[in-house]
Amino acid sequence: MSTALDALFVGRIYDSGRAMRRTTLRHTHLADQPLGIAMWRLGGERFRAAAIAWGPLGGPFELAVAGEPRNRDLYFAALAPFAADLCLRVRSAADAKVARQRGRRTELLPAGALQVVVPNRTTVGALGLLGRYLAYLSDRGGVTPDPALIEAGKHLRFYARHARVPGQALLLPLDRLVAEHWATLLSPFEQANLAALDAQIEPPAGTHAFHASAAAEALARIGPEPTEDIDRVTDALLAEFNTARGGSTDPAVVEPLARPLRDHYRRLIEPVWQLMDHAVARERRLPAAPSVQRRFEGDREAFGRHVDWMAGGGRYRTTDTPRQAAMTLRRLEDALARYDADKAVEDAACMVPYLLDGDAVRGVVASVNEHRVVARVRSVRRALMTLDTDDPAVLPAHKRLWWTATAHDHPWEVQAVQPHGLGSRITLMLDAAPTPARLPGAGDRVTLSVLHTRPDAYRLAPPLEAPWTHRPALPPPLPEPIDTGDAEPPSAAVDGTALPDPGRYT
Amino acid sequence: MSRRRSRPDPGAGTALDHVRGRAPTIRPNVRRLAAFANVHSCPTAAVAFAARVDTNRALAGTGAEVPYGQSPFAIGRGVAFEALLRRYGHAELRKVLTDGLGVDFTIAAIENLREGYQPNRTGLTLRASVTRTRMAEIVAAPPEPIVLDGAVLRADIGGLAAFFEADEMAIGVAGEIIVGENKSWPVVDGRPTDEDALGAALDQAATYVLLGRRALDQAGVDPGRVSGNVVLITPRNTGLAPVLHRQNVDGRVRRVERLLHAVPEVSDIAASVPPSVTFDRIADVSLPEEARLEAFAEITEELGRVYEPASCLTSCGFAWACRQCVFGAGDPAITGGPVARALPGVASLGRVAELGRGAPPSVTEAPAAVPIARAGRLYDEVMPAGRPGLRRPA
Amino acid sequence: MEHAVYHENMTQRQDDEAVSLARRVADALAAGNHAEAVRLTRQLEERLAETTEHKPSEGHAPDFEAPPTVVPVRSTKTPRSTRSGRQVVAGALAEIGVPCRARVLADYAEARFGQRVEPRALAALRRDERLAWAKSSARPTYIVPALEGHFFQPVRGFLTLSDWPLERRLLGPWSERADHLAVTAQLARQLAWLSERDPAVAERLASVVAGMAHSIPGALDGRDVDTARVESAAAAELAPLAVRDEPWRRQAAARARAQLAEEHQLWGVSIGVVAEGDRQGRQ
């Protein structure tokens, strides 16, 4: 893919001191009030959320802090309200249904779906791991865990898996959303920091984007993995907390003692929450592309299937069989191709790289005429277009290009290319009957490209996972619980300065 | 407890010692060598590595210090996992190796080279000597397994020989040497839970494989005896109970070999550098920040600098300071390789902006300039009028 | 130039009789015959001791003869201090009888004597012992570090007593595990003896033994400590290791006696700066 556009961006941003938009439209659905989730783990503990914040973006967040998240009783007690709320929101989002015609079939799918927004892709992974842990909790010491935790775990797993689908909007990592819309001086590695992205887009007056994002990198703490300075404080507070509670897990005892830890995490979450809110509000101002609704309908479908499946008992394998994995990969690849095509066809700014690569042409329609040609046996009506392009075009004869306005329909075939002024004159023939909708007018500025959005060309329709009801009679083996080590006493925290070579523990 | 302060090297007589000056030092190890391989083509990084400069700490106290420390809980987990494997005569290590490799390790000889040796060159030399002997024994296929914990291997990087300590273990089974790496992030459903950390761990193990193969080769033994299938020992699920996975790293070994082969000849660079060039000033905490960062800019100008964000930001403590220099110079490398490579003949980003607005290119600029000008035209046509911007300060 | 100090030939001629005894120990254990396993282990130990040049000295820990018992595990109580730190450490080491890590020593001392030894105190102890030896202020034994087996450098993490024969103060590739198994068996026997005479101490000691036995397959069944079970499980795992470790220790001790002055046989060797080619003293 041509890098000339990226080079242009870098040059201009360097010159102007601010980031630039990559798109004229928004290509991802944004709900009115998506559910925001932000979390901080305990360092190195991939299943322990030391703090989880959640709530509709634009409003205040609720905060769950266990105190000692490695203690099962405290941990589950803290997560319970989060789990209950998540389950409630999922279920109510799936309640309202609409009907859809598919050929002769009428299907019901949810009218909406719960959209979850998180600060970055790492949080997506973290929620997925948390979900895996919660979804299959074992009965420890004869105590059955709160069913809301298990249900929430399954929801989180579904969301984290669905996040792999290109163009999906159920679980939205904001670092990806913002990077998709904006060109900055940040390399892909640096773009994972939402605060750095934001700083390049809206640097303080008088500050260049580069310096603004460097400052943000040094100061901002986004999570979910805590930095050394954060967890030094956590270490001190947690030690005091554990000493003070003396092994008690009684909420009456523990709650007041956990207040310093709650304050510590609240102070960390607040700037992240504001940042998320700000980013969503800014990106929402872009008008949505037409295909956003169609993609979100696919999300709603998957969401509906998931909720139905949960109602039916909720069992599936934890890992794909090789064949499943191959099929899933194909569908993901197709989904990506379709998403790229949709974006470029609907958004002229997204078409620019294809123009630069020679996979698209842009110019003025010099003429559109009908002819009769002999196709196999009969003589049929065909349209011929002459297009005068701005830049020289190199296209082989019979190459098929789609006019962006009819990208879902039939292509035009290149008949001849000749030099014309600074560009080329291309003659193309429409590959189908010339109905008015299919024909541009003379004098129109049009774009044709290799991209098309014909629905039958992409293997998207079947679900990524066969629902329980469509499986053979033998149920799949239940994924095993992974909470086997919960009874182990937590490891003592060790400060890096006490060791000669702390780097060996990365 | 205060951090270890850098000491002047009493035997300083070589150009590299002078170049290091009072900057904090490191003991070279396989892990650092693997990270250095990612930035191998940068002369500043190569000289810093050869001079044993701790790039993480050299800029401590400045705004350009890249945070590198870890959460005490994460470190504590790592310490606890290692201690678990080693406790009671390596009870858990024996068990996980027996279960994972299908060979009885309860009677394995476990050579502990971490304890009893001085933390200096003497200690490294002795450990290297024992390592060589033991590896030769392993290759002679004794009937019982041997584990070497804390091996030291000698290697020649950029024309300079040095000893490298390994976090990894060498496991000798049936005449083969298998590299074993412990990490404390868990594996769930047979998959690691941290892809980035897995990649780094496998790169480290691959580097050890490479050094081990070279050591065998030098001893006249078939280097293929060091297996390309390394062992990864991590906790399984929650808690710290260990589990073993084998992973092939042949591709990574080839990559690291290629990279280290391309390290510039450090002795040549060091010999050609004027005596004024030293890392001493950048580490001097009594100097104001600007003076230290300016000294850094000078030293990278003099030695040469290759900035590639993806590699540098994950492998070198100078990355932020270097990025600052790159920006100041208007160097297209700021966002990474593909863009930098798209601009041969174009001197700076300021010029790219001009070319993007249709400024006439020179003959050598033209191949890169024409598509950029076109990109500018196409973009301006579709995008509504740009927001008022800030001209970058001169 | 290679620095080739280490010449040791690691291939061992195995003692066939010892190997056979070791196998019989394992068989007896598998058959559930604890008494037989213990009996065979004693035989094996004697066999290995026969082939040493030096007999164990008088200061070696006595065997505790007592019928095995089952002791419940309970948490330790706060200790009372009566003896000096050094006396506690020396006493604990004497009863343990093998090179011991500071932490295990401290846990044992707390359970056995009710006295806590702080890690900082142990660091000071090492220094003081060396000074005392240098002044030759007469002490029957000194607390000295174990020695590694290649160059006989001190291994600070492991403590031993100077009146132990050199064999018992060296650490080879099997030694740490073998010693741990031997100590666990020994402490199990001690626990059995104490449970009749001093139940309070026995309770504390039981939890130490439980922790140590945890890594030995078959040693523990449930929360209580069955001393016979622990002893025989430890003995079974120890047998094949001892077959390898004892000859190693003998050979290493012989080398050390041939190469080292008495001071270094006690305190280990501190190897001077090694010059390598033209890079003098450079890291």
CATH number of the structural domain spanning residue A434: 2.40.30
Of A491, A159, A115, nearest to A292 by C-alpha is A115
Residue B380 sits at the chain C interface (C-beta within 8 Å) = no
A225-229, B141-145, B266-270: range with highest mean pLDDT: A225-229
pLDDT band per the 50, 70, 90 thresholds, residue B13: very low
Both A260 and A408 in a single domain? no
pLDDT above 80: residue A362: yes
Which among C4, C11, C273 is the nearest to B122, CB-wise?
C273
Mean pLDDT over each residue of chain A, to the nearest integer: 91
Q: For chain B, report the end-to-end CA distance as a whole number of angstroms.
A: 44
| Site of tokens 């990355």 | B319
Identify the burial level of C79 via C-beta atoms within 10 angstroms of its C-beta, where 0-12 means exposed, 13-18 middle and 19 or more buried: middle
Close Cβ partners of A252 (under 8 Å, ≥ 6 residues apart): none
Residue-wise pLDDT tens digits, A403-442: 999 999 999 999 999 999 999 999 999 989 999 999 999 9
pLDDT above 50: residue C2: no
Which among B111, B120, B126 is the nearest to C151, CB-wise?
B126
Of C209, C240, C242, C180, nearest to C29 by C-alpha is C240
Torsion of CA B332, B336, B341, B343, to 10 degrees: -20
Structure tokens at C259: 């190469």
Both A291 and A418 in a single domain? no
What is the H or E stretch that residue A92 is in?
helix A72-95
Residue A394 sits at the chain B interface (C-beta within 8 Å) = no
Q: Name chain C contacts of B88, Cβ cutoff 8 Å.
A: 176-177, 180, 212, 215
Contact call for B309 and A189, based on CB within 8 A? yes
pLDDT above 90: residue C122: no
What's residue A116's pLDDT? 98
pLDDT above 60: residue B264: yes
Instruction: Say whether the A–C interface has 3 or more Cβ pairs within 8 Å.
Output: no
pLDDT above 90: residue B35: yes
What's residue C1's pLDDT? 37
Interface test with C, best of B106, B107, B147 (most C CBs within 10 A): B107
Mean pLDDT over each residue of chain B, to the nearest integer: 89
CA distance A350 to A331: 23
Structure tokens at C127: 């220094």
Structure tokens at A92: 């109510």
Both A378 and A281 in a single domain? no
What's residue C75's pLDDT? 46
CA distance A390 to A424: 7
Region A212-234: what's the mean pLDDT? 96
CA distance B224 to A268: 51
Residue-wise pLDDT tens digits, C189-205: 999 999 989 888 999 99
Residue B239 sits at the chain A interface (C-beta within 8 Å) = yes
Residue-wise pLDDT tens digits, B273-316: 777 888 999 999 999 999 999 999 999 998 899 999 999 999 99
What's residue C136's pLDDT? 75
User: C13: helix, coil or strand?
Assistant: coil
Residue B228 C-alpha from the chain's centroid: 20
Region A452-481: what's the mean pLDDT? 63
Q: By mean pLDDT, which of A40-44, A61-65, B286-290, B365-369 is the weakest?
A: B365-369
Both A266 and A368 in a single domain? no
Contact call for B52 and C151, based on CB within 8 A? no
pLDDT above 90: residue A266: yes
User: C58: helix, coil or strand?
Assistant: coil
CB pairs < 8 Å spanning B and C: 107
Query: CA of A85 to nearest chain B CA: how many angstroms apart?
Result: 25
Q: Which amino acid is at B254?
A: R
Parallel/antiparallel/unpaired status of strands A378-389 and C143-148? unpaired
What's residue C62's pLDDT? 43
Query: CA of C6 to nearest chain B CA: how many angstroms apart?
Result: 7
**Residue-range definition of the domain harbouring residue A435:** 348-455
Percentage, residues of chain A above pLDDT 70 = 93
Close Cβ partners of B151 (under 8 Å, ≥ 6 residues apart): B113, B127, B131, B134, B135, B165, B166, B168, B169, B170
Residue B366 sits at the chain A interface (C-beta within 8 Å) = no
| Number of domains comprising chain A | 2
What's residue A321's pLDDT? 63
User: B236: helix, coil or strand?
Assistant: strand
Both A305 and A352 in a single domain? no
CA distance B352 to B365: 10
Instruction: Say whether the B–A interface has 3 or more Cβ pairs within 8 Å.
Output: yes
Q: By mean pLDDT, which of B141-150, B382-391, C134-143 is the weakest?
A: B382-391
Which among A132, A498, A500 is the nearest to B188, CB-wise?
A132
Query: Are B108 and B142 in contact, with CB atoms under 8 Å apart?
Result: no
Q: Please, what is the angle between helix A348-357 and helix A322-346, to 10°?
A: 100
In a domain, A40, yes or no: yes
What's residue C23's pLDDT? 73
Chain B, residues 52-71, CB within 8 A of chain C, namely 52
Contact call for B130 and C150, based on CB within 8 A? yes
Query: CA of C281 to nearest chain B CA: how many angstroms apart?
Result: 7
Structure tokens at A272: 């992240």
Region A1-6: what's the mean pLDDT? 86
Which carries the bigger pLDDT value, residue C95 or residue B392? C95
Query: Are B239 and B225 in contact, with CB atoms under 8 Å apart?
Result: no
Return the number of other C-beta atoms located less than 10 Å from residue C51's C-beta: 13
Of A52, A79, A43, nearest to A273 by C-alpha is A52
pLDDT above 60: residue A249: yes
Residue-wise pLDDT tens digits, A140-160: 878 899 999 999 999 999 999
pLDDT band per the 50, 70, 90 thresholds, residue B2: very low
CA distance A80 to A152: 9
Both A304 and A406 in a single domain? no
Q: Maximum Cα–Cα distance for chain A, whole Å?
A: 92
Tell whether the torsion through CA atoms of A359, A364, A367 and A369 is positive or negative. positive
Which among B167, B185, B374 is the nearest to A391, CB-wise?
B374
CB pairs < 8 Å spanning A and B: 266
Query: Are A9 and A183 in contact, with CB atoms under 8 Å apart?
Result: yes
Q: Name chain C contacts of B122, Cβ cutoff 8 Å.
A: 271-274
Residue-wise pLDDT tens digits, B126-168: 999 999 999 999 999 888 999 999 999 999 888 788 899 998 8
Which among B3, B356, B377 is the nearest to A497, CB-wise?
B3
Contact call for B391 and A17, based on CB within 8 A? yes
Residue-wise pLDDT tens digits, A30-50: 999 999 999 999 999 999 999
Contact call for B392 and A227, based on CB within 8 A? no
pLDDT band per the 50, 70, 90 thresholds, residue C281: very low
Of B313, A15, B265, nearest to B322 by C-alpha is B313
Region B5-23: what's the mean pLDDT? 59
Parallel/antiparallel/unpaired status of strands A400-403 and A445-449? antiparallel
Residues of C with CB under 8 A from a CB of B: 2-6, 10-11, 147-148, 150-151, 153-158, 171-181, 212, 215-216, 237, 240-241, 244, 270-274, 276, 280-283
What's residue B8's pLDDT? 30
Residue B189 sits at the chain A interface (C-beta within 8 Å) = yes
Chain B, residues 290-349, CB within 8 A of chain A, namely 309-310, 313-314, 320, 323-324, 327, 330, 332, 334-336, 338-339, 341-343, 349
Contact call for A492 and B167, based on CB within 8 A? no
Which among B73, B336, B391 is the nearest to A43, CB-wise?
B73
B310 backbone dihedrals φ, ψ, rounded to 5°: -60, -40
Query: CA of A113 to nearest chain B CA: how many angstroms apart?
Result: 28
Contact call for A24 and B310, based on CB within 8 A? no
Domain residue limits, chain C: 16-267
Contact call for C11 and B25, based on CB within 8 A? no
Contact call for B75 and A487, based on CB within 8 A? no
What's residue A183's pLDDT? 96
Residue-wise pLDDT tens digits, C141-187: 899 999 999 999 999 889 999 999 999 999 999 999 999 999 999 99
pLDDT above 90: residue B325: yes
In a domain, A355, yes or no: yes
What is the H or E stretch that residue A132 is in?
helix A121-135
CA distance A102 to A98: 13
pLDDT above 50: residue C10: no
Query: Are B144 and B150 in contact, with CB atoms under 8 Å apart?
Result: no
Of A506, A358, A376, A383, nearest to A442 by C-alpha is A383
Structure tokens at A215: 């400052």
pLDDT band per the 50, 70, 90 thresholds, residue B271: confident
ipTM of the complex: 0.91
Residue B93 sits at the chain C interface (C-beta within 8 Å) = no
Please give the model's pTM, rounded to 2 decimal places.
0.87
pLDDT band per the 50, 70, 90 thresholds, residue C273: low
Residue A135 C-alpha from the chain's centroid: 22
Query: CA of B324 to nearest chain A CA: how many angstroms apart?
Result: 9
What's residue B198's pLDDT? 95
pLDDT band per the 50, 70, 90 thresholds, residue C11: very low
Which carries the bigger pLDDT value, residue A475 or residue B98? B98
Which among B94, B107, B120 is the nearest to C240, CB-wise?
B107
Query: Are A184 and B309 in contact, with CB atoms under 8 Å apart?
Result: no
